[in-house]
Amino acid sequence: MNEAHKAIGVFDSGVGGLTVVRALTERLPYENIVYFGDTARVPYGVKSRNTIEQFSTQIVQFLLEQNVKLLVIACNTIAAVAGNKVRALAGVMPVIDVIGAGADAAVRATKNGQIGVIATTTTTNSNAYARAVAERKSSCRVVSQACPLLVPIIEEGWLDHQVTRLTLREYLPPLLAEHIDTLILGCTHYPLIKPLLAEETRGIALVDSSTTTAAAVADVLAEKDLLNPQTTAPDYRFFVSDIPLRFQTIGERFLNRPLEQLEMIGLG
Ligand code: DGL
């Protein structure tokens, strides 16, 4: 098969990465996509590095078997602790991850060099965003805040809810006190509460790594001459390791379209 016709492989610990798929379908409407969400073992955000590396290896092996042309790590937690492992497994295949794309966009957006990050506990503890920003612009300072309650709240669908607003009012003040002018949404679930975040962080630039990741994928595909030349309806396939209660509803909320071609597959 011609390399450019192959699908983009996207993966996450669960449903969150579907926000990246949504951004990809908008930015690159003719690309075929294979998604894997590890719904049986989510959340990753509280697990150890070893476990996340082991799970990520299984997912990457699965996606490589699907004959993809590029891998997207659509999970901040995986990118933070297993990014190098994924790149080693991928070999010469391009790998784009949400942290690199988010750090690029934040460095471009900030004027005062003070960048905030909200993320899961594992991502925050890994310091991956601080490292990624420092590699790009050493004069920038990164302050991070773990927001462990946001993932379950968002999966509950409380996108514009008083509980979510109050939770943000607990998490955000330490970042606001540091006079950040840019805030990275360091978890793929958070784009769903962007309107609420914008209200609670007025005047601060929000970096949504789903759209910045889609833009980075578009750039790499163009650069490597891998853009799908076909302009017919693309093929989207969704694999998950479990189909839990309400998965269809939650998934469609993340994807913003019907979740068809869904298949359950066990790994490991
Ligand atoms: N999707 C994950 C991320 O972006 C959050 C969910 C999890 O903890 O597995 O970090």
CA distances from 187 to 41, 44, 88, 205 (A): 17, 11, 23, 16
Closest C-alpha to ligand 1, atom 8:
45
Residue 123 alpha carbon, nearest atom of ligand 1: 10
Percentage with pLDDT > 90 across the chain:
90
pLDDT for 250 equals: 87
**Structure tokens that stand for 164 in this block:** 């979510």
**Residues 204-232: b if buried by 16+ CB within 10 A, e if exposed:** bbbbbbbbbbbbbbbebbeeeebebeeee
Using CB distances shorter than 6 Å, the residues near ligand 1 are 12-14, 16, 42-45, 75-77, 120, 123, 151, 187-189
Instruction: Please write the tens of the pLDDT for every residue from 24-34.
Output: 999 999 999 99
pLDDT for 45 equals: 84
This prediction has a pTM of 0.94
Mean per-residue pLDDT for 75-92? Answer: 96
CA nearest neighbour of 45 among 20, 77, 92: 77
For the ranges 77-81, 142-146, 244-248, the lowest mean pLDDT is seen at 244-248
How far does the centroid of ligand 1 lie from the alpha carbon of residue 173, in Å?
22
How far does the centroid of ligand 1 lie from the alpha carbon of residue 16, in Å?
6
pLDDT for 63 equals: 98
At 231 the three-state DSSP class reads coil
For ligand 1, pick from 77, 242, 250, 254 the residue to mutate: most ligand atoms within 8 Å of CB. Answer: 77
pLDDT for 191 equals: 93
Instruction: Please write the tens of the pLDDT for every residue from 176-229.
Output: 999 999 999 999 999 999 999 999 999 999 999 899 999 999 999 999 999 999
